[in-house]
């Protein structure tokens, strides 16, 4: 199969991408003129061809449960955790598998082929984790799934929290998680980070910590995570998710913090729709946005990407799998609608996210890599967000996985 008349980000002219078997075999410059297709070719019609979108942060065990049994009425993170604790009592192996699989289908329909899911392991029977390990296998032809052992109710503050984390890794979690701002005390938050970093270092897992997901400017666990990372030299393998307290830190502290963050080499994930919804809830006016400093992290040369976090769960009632919606909202909320940001905004849902997930040479439009790619509906990043474009075709391992027909509008007057 060949993909013809493809535009590649950051390169002039049009290209033909030749696929042999499951790999990209050649990328040939076509010049500026569109070429006629041969039967079997996929015609990109002079629009972008990019590697697949990535979902770097979602909770697939909780999706599609909003209102079961109760709605989150306050809209806070903390009520979300309470509502989820109620729903967790009702989960079964099949319930988790059915909802996670359905949600993965929604992600695939929007061009996502790589997913990192947090899975709550503060459950003595590890029901969700066992189900997700099976789902990861069953959806292999659609998406690559990374499972994070996520201690929703704490490592130190939950009965047998440390043992449950260790067991989750032994059962096949790929990534070690944490939630230091939710531990009962500051000291427990710090010790939870040391524990989870030890666990990851010992087992070779990656790390992705829900870190400082609160408007409390005194929540300063990011510095602990960054320093533990720096000392162990684990930078590229570690991710700090949310870090929304950074939106409330004063600049004097944040200036000093950035020096450490840069030295540590950690990655950042922001979930802008989730945070604009959950944070700022204890404010009157003026009301904080409750996001981390996405533009500033990016300007400082550090790696940051966007995730959806939730789809119809106790924390967030909306969502449909479309990460481009998150990108559009994030660019607004983070003051990133400047011309230069718009030129390269797809980085935030492709290359930056792939780096966060440590996908390495499994990702990217390069000869010899897996033939995983998307045909988009627009010729560049700017036009893609402006037109609220779509992934029209998703190719995985050299086969068409998803094809979308855009709405057809007729003007009759
Ligand atoms: N759990 C949590 O601690 N924070 C979130 N944003 C979600 C679940 C969705
Ligand atoms: Fe999350």
Q: Which of 367, 368, 365, 356 is nearest to 395 (CA)?
A: 365
Evaluate if pTM is beyond 0.85: yes
**How many whole angstroms separate alpha carbon 11 and alpha carbon 6?**
11
**How many whole angstroms separate alpha carbon 275 and alpha carbon 289?**
8
* Angle between helix 161-170 and helix 186-203 axes, rounded to 10 deg: 20
**How many whole angstroms separate alpha carbon 200 and alpha carbon 236?**
13
C-alpha distances in Å from residue 386, one per residue of 13, 335, 352, 378, 410 = 22, 15, 21, 10, 21
Fold agreement between 2-51+365-403 and 53-362: no
CA-atom Rg of the chain in angstroms: 21
For 229-281, the pLDDT digits (tens) are 999 999 999 999 999 999 999 999 999 999 999 999 999 999 999 999 999 99
Confidence (pLDDT) at 376: 98
Confidence (pLDDT) at 127: 98
Q: Where are the domains of the chain?
A: 2-51+365-403, 53-362
Residues of the chain predicted below pLDDT 70: none
Please tell me the distance between residue 315's alpha carbon and the centre of ligand 1 in angstroms: 7
Confidence (pLDDT) at 49: 98
**How many whole angstroms separate alpha carbon 284 and alpha carbon 147?**
38
**How many whole angstroms separate alpha carbon 6 and alpha carbon 371?**
14
Neighbours of 283 (CB within 10 A): 12
Q: Which residues are catalytic?
A: 213
Confidence (pLDDT) at 334: 98
Confidence (pLDDT) at 109: 98
Give the number of the ligand closest to the Cα of residue 178: 1
Please tell me the distance between residue 297's alpha carbon and the centre of ligand 1 in angstroms: 22
For 2-51+365-403, which CATH class? mainly beta
**How many whole angstroms separate alpha carbon 43 and alpha carbon 56?**
29
Reduced to 3 states, what is the DSSP secondary structure of residue 178?
Answer: coil
Atom 3 of ligand 1: nearest residue by CA position? 152
Confidence (pLDDT) at 230: 98
Arch. (CATH architecture) of 53-362? Alpha-Beta Barrel (3.20)
Confidence (pLDDT) at 37: 86
Q: Which atom of ligand 1 is nearest to the CA of 309?
A: 9
C-alpha distances in Å from residue 83, one per residue of 36, 69, 90, 161 = 56, 8, 12, 20
Please tell me the distance between residue 29's alpha carbon and the centre of ligand 2 in angstroms: 42
To the nearest 10°, the Cα dihedral for 53, 387, 384, 301? -90
Instruction: Please list every protein residue whose CB sits less than 6 Å from any atom of ligand 1.
Output: 59, 77, 152, 179, 210, 213, 274, 309-310, 315
Give the number of the ligand closest to the Cα of residue 81: 1
């Amino acid at each position: 199969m060949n993909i013809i008349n493809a535009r590649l980000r950051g390169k002039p002219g049009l290209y033909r991408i030749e696929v042999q078997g499951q790999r990209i075999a050649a990328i040939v410059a076509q010049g500026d003129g569109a070429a006629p297709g041969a039967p079997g070719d996929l015609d990109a019609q002079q629009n972008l061809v990019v590697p697949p979108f990535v979902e770097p942060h979602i909770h697939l065990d909780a999706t599609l449960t909003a209102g079961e049994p109760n709605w989150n009425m306050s809209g806070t993170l903390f009520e979300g955790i309470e509502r989820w604790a109620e729903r967790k009592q009702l989960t079964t192996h099949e319930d988790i598998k059915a909802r996670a699989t359905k949600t993965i289908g929604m992600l695939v329909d929007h061009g996502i082929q790589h997913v990192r899911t947090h899975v709550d392991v503060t459950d003595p029977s590890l029901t969700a984790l066992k189900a997700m390990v099976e789902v990861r296998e069953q959806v292999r032809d659609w998406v690559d799934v990374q499972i994070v052992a996520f201690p929703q109710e704490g490592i130190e503050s939950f009965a047998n929290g440390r043992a449950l984390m260790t067991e989750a890794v032994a059962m096949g979690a790929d990534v070690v998680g944490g939630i230091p701002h939710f531990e009962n005390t500051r000291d427990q938050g710090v010790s939870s980070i040391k524990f989870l970093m030890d666990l990851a270092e010992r087992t070779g897992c990656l790390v992705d910590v829900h870190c400082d997901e609160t408007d409390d400017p005194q929540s300063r666990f990011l510095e602990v995570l960054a320093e533990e990372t720096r000392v162990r030299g684990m930078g590229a393998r570690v991710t700090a998710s949310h870090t929304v307290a950074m939106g409330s830190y004063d600049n004097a502290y944040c200036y000093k913090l950035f020096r450490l963050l840069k030295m540590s080499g950690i990655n950042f994930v922001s979930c802008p729709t989730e945070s604009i919804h959950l944070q700022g809830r204890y404010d009157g006016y003026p009301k904080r946005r409750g996001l981390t400093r996405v533009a500033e992290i990016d300007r400082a040369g550090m790696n940051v990407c966007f995730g959806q976090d939730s789809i119809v769960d106790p924390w967030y009632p909306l969502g449909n799998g479309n990460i481009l919606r998150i990108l559009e909202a994030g660019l607004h909320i983070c003051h990133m609608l400047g011309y230069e940001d718009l030129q390269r905004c797809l980085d935030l849902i492709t290359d930056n996210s792939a780096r966060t997930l440590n996908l390495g040479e499994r990702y990217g439009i390069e000869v010899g890599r897996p033939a995983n790619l998307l045909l988009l509906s627009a010729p560049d990043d700017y036009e893609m967000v402006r037109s609220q474009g779509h992934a029209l075709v998703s190719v995985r391992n050299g086969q068409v996985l998803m094809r979308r027909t855009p709405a057809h509008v007729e003007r009759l007057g």
